[in-house]
Structure 1
Amino acid sequence: MNIYISGRGAFAVQVADALLEEGHQIVGAAAPRLRQGHSDENNTLAWDRLRSWAYPRSIPWTDSEELRATHVPDGVDVIVAAHSHAFIGRRTRARAAVATIGYHPSLLPLHRGRDAIRWTIRDGDKVTGGSVYHLTERTDGGPLAAQEHLFVPPGSTAQSLWRDHLAPLGVRLLLRVVTDLAKGRLVEVPQDESLATWEPAMGAPPLFKPELIALPGTTSVDGSRWAIHAQ
C-alpha cells in the first residue's frame, strides 16, 4: 500500500522502517523541522529524525505544522500518524483512499490527551496498553482498529514505559492494522464515551474552574474571573 506518514522522532522512523520491510511504500512524510530544543535549521543533526530519515530516500517531506491536503500526493491509501502532535484535518484525511489511522499509548478511551503515559504513571495504573484508532475531528476519539493491554512493570517511569513497552507495541499494532487494511479488513469499534477520561498536557498551567465543582444550593462562581500561574 502507499503510505503517507506524519510523525516525529525515533518512533516514526521505526514505524516507517517496519512498513517498508513489509513491502509497503512510503510516498510522503510530515515531521517537525527540528528536534525539540534545537534552532539551527542549517545543522542537519538538529533535524527531526523522520525528516532526516526521509531526506536521503528522496521521500517528499513537509513541516507537520503546515500539513495540508495539498501536501498529500495522489494515490495514497493510508495516512499513518506516528507520534504526531499536529492535527490532521478533514480535507487532509480525505486524501487517503482507505483510512487515516494513529497510535495512542493508552487503552482508549482512557487517558486521552498528549501526556497519556505521564498520567498513567502519575495515577499509579497497574494496566495500560496501546490503541490504533481512526482519526476524526474529535481528538483521540475515533473508532478503534486495534488495541492491546500490558501490565505496567514496577518502578516504571514514563520514559521507560514508552521506550521498552508502549513504543514497540505501537509499531506492531500499526503494522497489524495496515496489513489488515491491505487485505480488505476494516475494523472500526466505537469508543465507549461513558469510560472516557482526558487529561491536559502536564506542561500547561493548571486550570481553575470552581464552577465545575460548586455544590447544589451554593452561590455560583465565575471561574473566568480568576487566574492561576504555574509555580
Structure 2
Amino acid sequence: MRITLVGSRHFGVTTLNMLRQHGVDIVRVVVADAEDRLAAAAKAAGIEVIVQADPRLVVASEIAAGTDLIVTAHSHARIGEDALAAARFGGIGYHPSLLPRHRGIAAVEWTIKEGDPIAGGTVYHLADRMDAGAIAAQEWCFVKKGETARELWERALAPLGQKLLGEVIDYAKAHHALPAKPQDEQFATNAPNLPK
C-alpha cells in the first residue's frame, strides 16, 4: 500500500508514525509550510516532502506517482478532483465529529459550544464538498462536563483519529477496497470558524 500523506502539525506527525507502524509505504508527504514539524519528521525518516504551490489546494502533480491512497491529517487544503483521481483508492481524512454533524474547520469547538454530551470521530472519503464524503469508519466518545475543545481533542478525539485511520488502512490492505457508507444529509450541520 503506497500512501501520500497530506497534513501538518502534531496530528500529522502522529499519523506519519502510525502509518509506519501499519506497514505501508509512505511515498511522499505534502505540506503547506516547509517549516512545519511534519515536514521535518518526514525528512528525518527519509521520506520525500513536497510543499503545496497553493496552501488551500492539493493538485495531482503533488501526489506521488503510483499512490494507492491519499491520507490527510490536519490539512486545511482541499484535495482536488484531479489529485483524488491520481490515487487508486482516492483519499481519506479524519474529522473530529460524528459526521455529518459539525462539518467544518471548528468541529471540536462547536461540539463544546452546542453542549453535545457525545462527540466522536469519523474517517471519511475525501470528496468535492468539504467533510461530505462517504463514511469509512466512525466511533463516539463522551464529552466531560466543563471540558474545553483542546482538552477533548487531546484526551479523546486525536487518539480516536489514530485508531480509526489505522483500522481503515488495515481494512484497505486486506480487502483492496475502502468501506463506504453515505452520510445522511438531513442531519448535517456546519461548524465554521468561531470569532476569537
- The verdict on a shared fold, with TM-score over 0.5 as the criterion, is yes
Higher strand share: 2
Q: How does 1:1-12 map to 2 (within 5 A)?
A: 1-12=1-12
Amino acid at match of 1:62: I
Deviation at 1:63, TM superposition (A): 2.2
How many Å apart are 1:161 and its aligned residue?
Answer: 0.6
**Deviation readout 1:25-47 (Å, 9 max, x if unpaired):** 1111112316xxxxxxxxxxxx2
So what's the TM-score if we normalise by structure 1?
0.80
Deviating above 3 A after TM superposition, structure 1's stretches of 4 or more consecutive aligned residues are none
Shift of 1:112: 0.4
**Number of the residue aligned with 1:143:** 134
Displacement after TM superposition at 1:158 (Å):
0.7
Looking at structure 2, the residues matched to 182 and 200 of structure 1 have their Cα atoms a distance apart, in angstroms, of: 34
- The match for 2:47 among 48, 51, 59 is 59
CA distance in 1, matches of 2:131, 2:163: 19
- One-letter code aligned to 1:63: V
Could you tell me which amino acid in structure 2 is paired with residue 202 of structure 1?
L
Contact 1:106 1:116 in 2 (8 A): yes
Matches within 5 A, 1:173-188: 173-184=164-175, 185-188=177-180
Q: Secondary structure at the match of 1:183?
A: helix
Matched position secondary structure for 2:169: helix
Task: Show the counterpart of 2:185.
Answer: 193
2:29 maps to 29
RMSD between superposed Cα atoms in Å: 1.4
- Give the AA of the match of 1:55: K
Q: Which residue of 1 aligns with 2:91?
A: 100
Q: More deviation in 55-64 or 132-141?
A: 55-64
User: 1: CA distance between counterparts of 2:86 and 2:118?
Assistant: 36
Q: Percent identity?
A: 43
Structure showing greater relative contact order (alpha-carbon pairs closer than 8 Å, 6 or more residues apart): 2
User: 1:39-91 deviations in whole A, cap 9, x for unaligned?
Assistant: xxxxxxxx211111112223121224163211212211110011110010000
Tell me the amino acid that sits aligned with residue 6 of structure 1: V
Query: Map of 1:1-231 to 2, 5 A cutoff?
Result: 1-33=1-33, 47-64=35-52, 65=55, 67-184=58-175, 185-203=177-195
Q: Which runs of 5+ in 2 are unaligned?
A: none
